[in-house]
Structure 1
Amino acid sequence: MSETRVNGTDAKTAHQDLHSERGALRGEHPGRARNPVIKVADLAWLEFEKPDLDRAEVFARDFGFGVAARTERELWLRGTFAGSPCMVIRRGRTSRFIGPVFRAAERADLDRLARATGTAVQDADVPGGGRVVGLLDPSGFPVRVVHCAEQLPELPGQRPLTLNHGTDQRRTNATQRPPREPSRIQRLGHVVLETRVFARALDWYLDTLGMIVSDFLFLDGQRGRGPTMAFIRCDQGSLAVDHHTLAMHLGPANGYVHSAYQVTDLDAIAAGGEYLAERGYQRSWGIGRHIQGSQLFDYWRDPDRLMLEHFSDGDLFSCDLEPGWAPMSTSGLAQWGPPATRDFLGASPSPARVRDVIQALRGDNEMDPARLLGLLKAANS
């Protein structure tokens, strides 16, 4: 086992007690770069294209977003917390994910990143203005790093309900009647991506953006070949941050899996879910509680079949916690909740998925028959 010590205990004990059954074996991926170019502070927003901005806005409001700005060609969505917008949707011919935008900790980080990557610092097309560097990750996703000139002000949010716990009875002579209304989004939490070049993409995010791994997953019987999924957080030193800001897993395509948005509490998730169901939207999976990250979760499809998550009560890690290691399995996705659906897993056969598999097995990437069989086994375990 790793010799690393965490808060006075060895890594093995820390993983058993905190977030994973085990830590790294000697010589396995350390989950961080020794000398990254910069260390991004957080996700800023995600970029999408859709042909119908009016329909996109209706779903966005039903899901719980506020509108930060709207033009004929752009829709900027926000949460109630102060900061940057959560998402921009630009008018395009098809509905698709473009890429993530990360927030630089300091303006000078953009200059450092531009010099190291041979790119330029440009004006950012964000309400309030700012500066941005545009990159391309090994999977082919446009990745931008931004420093905003202005921050959006805080908006009124949903208050968490006062709960009675055993003998800790703080609510008396008062009832609980949460209104049936949209879950009010507080902020963007994370994005999950599928990639054919997992190892290359992982190292790029660690080396270039200074992110660090919270948990690795590996395929049964293939741990020696390295991990096939990583939950990755930003490194803000002793400041504890989300368990993952970015998650990636090996798969037959390079594409968007889902994005996640924080709401107040379990009641906000449940009441907001009832609101969505009444309006005819499709729940993909939920409600439950994850293992890696511990979030309470609920997954939904928008009218264009893109997946979005409401979450609450996620784990927060500081920089001194080493990565956990666990086998990849469907049963390991949740501590409790309904079984993961085929829709959530992307396991429903389709001509497009068959084409992805054929192209992946023929291409120059990290997918091969053994990896494919291991992924299929994990999806059914």
Structure 2
Amino acid sequence: MSDHEVVDEKPEVESTPKTTETATEAPEDTTAATPKPEGNDGGEESGDDMPPLEDIKYDDETDDAVKKKRIVIPEDKPKPKPAEDGWLDVLDNGELRKFVLTPGAVGQPRPERGCIVAIKLVVKLEETQAVVESESHELTDMIVGDSDLFQGLDLIIPLMDQKEVARVVVSSRFAYGKTGIPGAIPPDASLDCELHLLSVQWLDEEFVLPIVDRIRIGNRKKERGNFWFGRQEYSTCIQCYKSAIKLLDATDEELESLDTNELKEHFDQQMKGEKKSPEDEERVKELVDIRGVTYNNLAMAQMKIDDFSGALTSVEAVLVTQPNNVKALFRKGRILAEKGELEDAIKVLKTGLTLEPDNKAIAQELNKYSAKRKKELVTERDLYKRMLQTDKSSPPTTPSKGLWGRSSVTGLGVECNC
């Protein structure tokens, strides 16, 4: 079992809907009638006491008979702009603010979700201005939107220009919340960050990173998923695991190399033209192993949120390339039991126990499910016996003489004269 693998025991603002009603139409008033204002004697009821649905301006305020109305549709809310003091309130609530320290390449494309960026980050506690060393990084391959660090940064980076340096103040809600990080960041702590956006790389959909880079970045994302799992933030950790798996998906040619040790042209391109060597096969095995661990961890996180169908898919993905992965077999057995498929669960656990006879966790689950299945079988037999006894004790239906001496059958709720 990998040291990094997650173990089972631990691991309003109300908006007013738009309407298409015109200014001359009014909804039916079911409330008590309101007094008419002076000057409106017997004429059309005034709607001035009703809240307007649109801003209405009259071309001629003195014409009481005909008022030409011009409806003004409010413009869409503009994007937030820096205030006079230079601070940009990203969410309009003070919880995520940005101040440009050094302008970047204005007019150049800004990073988007999925881009690989190189950043330098210095994190301080806003209250004390103490530097948090464990959360200060210099990353050359952060993927925007993948929760590589914390949510506030994923929201800020797309608002930055290349080469820009910014001061970013993030509330605890978009950092590490009520939990914080023991020994580093107190609960409910806001962070004061200095963020350098060094470079941006846009990836083509068909582009595949070299296998050495996929192993490195994928393993880091797996570890980040383990971090969020330990905090019981399962949605975020699932996102990290899935991001890691995208990088750790071996190509068909790479998987084929495990058996044939022949790397084809596509794999040669991924190795950047390097000559084939025994290390190539080892790299593929390492990638497949890390992917198996990540899928197993993903399954455990999915089980925590009762997504047993998703968890089953995850463990089966492991067993495709590693049919003897005991941890995957163990979790598959538990998942099948949760889905009510006890017989299949018992078979899978027996396979796992055959591979690891001394595995106490599998033996314990196997005994529990076997006993439960035995009780189910006893209940089913008793129910079947009662059904048979009921059938035997029921008196046979015999023909009876109806009117005029004819035979009739009444056992079916109707009388049939024969």
TM-score range, shorter chain: under 0.3
Structure having the larger proportion of residues in helix: 2
After TM superposition, the score normalised by the length of structure 1 is 0.26
Point out the structure with max Rg over C-alpha.
2
Structure having the larger proportion of residues in strand: 1
After TM superposition, the score normalised by the length of structure 2 is 0.24
